[in-house]
């Protein structure tokens, strides 16, 4: 059923450019797992796809919130590092696109949710660096137990944070990543860690809602609290237009 509720906030979601096959076609396409779309729509928002082509930060003028989606490894050149042998499939054009949108969203105090790679891009955009391969640090295998298999990771949350307001002192989340934050950027507060110390959530200080999580909240349709609060903040934003 199509809703005509004009008060529903418009939530932009970044997409990938990837070689794709559909029907008789095999071409590069902008794509995004449907679970992101369903999470935003179920939470009460209108999802709008943002491809990494023709980047223009003024697109944020028509949005009430922004999701930086998960995906491939961030190009180490964006934070001044040489590539690890396990860092593969980078998309520098996407990195540049998302860095522009992140910087513009923070400047405008647009509600922002950064997911997995999105948290990494948030950190890199603000001047931080990444650990390129967690197994090198002795991190637990539950972060990425097997190809295309999400791990279940328990995270401990810092008190007196937005993250703790949503999830309390601990929560168990869906994870799929082999990279994570290393040097945390100035202005970014770590708010949750896994038992092995891996950063699992961080918030941008001085912003009304700018939160990144290393896990994949879109993979748990039974718990859409992060998308619900993003949409709620988007409604506030929309009401001020």
pLDDT in the model for residue 1? 46
Q: Which helix (H) or strand (E) holds 165?
A: helix 162-167
Catalytic residue among 97, 143, 177, 216: 216
The CATH class of the 10-239 domain is alpha beta
The tokens for 139 are 């991190």
**Known catalytic residue at 218:** yes
Secondary structure string (H, E, C) spanning 34-66: HHHHHHHHHCCCEEEEECCCCCCHHHHHHCCEE
Q: In the predicted model, what is the mean pLDDT of the chain?
A: 95
Span 180-189, average pLDDT: 98
Of the listed 200, 218, 219, 233, which one is catalytic?
A: 218
Domain boundaries of the chain, sorted by first residue: 10-239
The reported pLDDT for the residue numbered 238 is 93
Tell me whether residue 175 is one of the annotated catalytic residues: no
Is residue 98 annotated as part of the catalytic site, yes or no? Answer: no
CA dist 134 and 189 (Å) reads 21
Give me the residues paired with residue 67 across strands. 13, 113
Sign of CA dihedral 61, 38, 117, 182: positive
The tens digit of pLDDT for each residue in 202-221 reads: 999 999 999 999 999 999 99
At 64-108, the pLDDT tens digits run 999 999 999 999 999 999 999 999 999 999 999 999 999 999 999
């Amino acid at each position: 059923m199509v809703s005509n509720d004009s008060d529903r906030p418009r939530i932009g979601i970044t997409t990938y450019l990837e070689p794709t096959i559909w029907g008789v076609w095999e071409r590069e396409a902008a794509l995004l797992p449907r679970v992101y779309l369903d999470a935003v729509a179920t939470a009460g928002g209108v999802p709008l796809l943002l491809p990494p082509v023709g980047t223009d930060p003024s697109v944020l003028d028509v949005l009430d919130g922004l999701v930086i989606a998960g995906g491939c490894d961030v190009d180490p050149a964006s934070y001044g590092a040489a590539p690890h042998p396990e860092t593969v499939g980078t998309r520098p054009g996407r990195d540049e696109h998302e860095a522009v949108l992140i910087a513009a969203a923070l400047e405008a105090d647009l509600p922002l949710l950064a997911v997995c790679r999105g948290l990494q891009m948030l950190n890199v955009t603000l001047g931080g660096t990444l650990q390129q391969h967690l197994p090198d640090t002795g991190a637990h295998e539950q972060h990425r137990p097997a190809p295309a298999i999400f791990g279940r990771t328990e995270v401990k949350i810092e008190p007196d944070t937005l993250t703790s307001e949503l999830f309390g002192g601990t929560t168990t989340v869906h994870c799929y990543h082999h990279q994570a934050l290393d040097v945390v950027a100035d202005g970014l507060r770590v708010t949750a860690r896994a038992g092995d110390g891996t950063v699992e959530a961080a918030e941008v200080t001085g912003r009304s809602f700018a939160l990144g999580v290393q896990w994949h909240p879109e993979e748990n349709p039974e718990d859409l609290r992060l998308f619900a609060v993003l949409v709620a903040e988007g409604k506030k934003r929309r009401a001020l237009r």
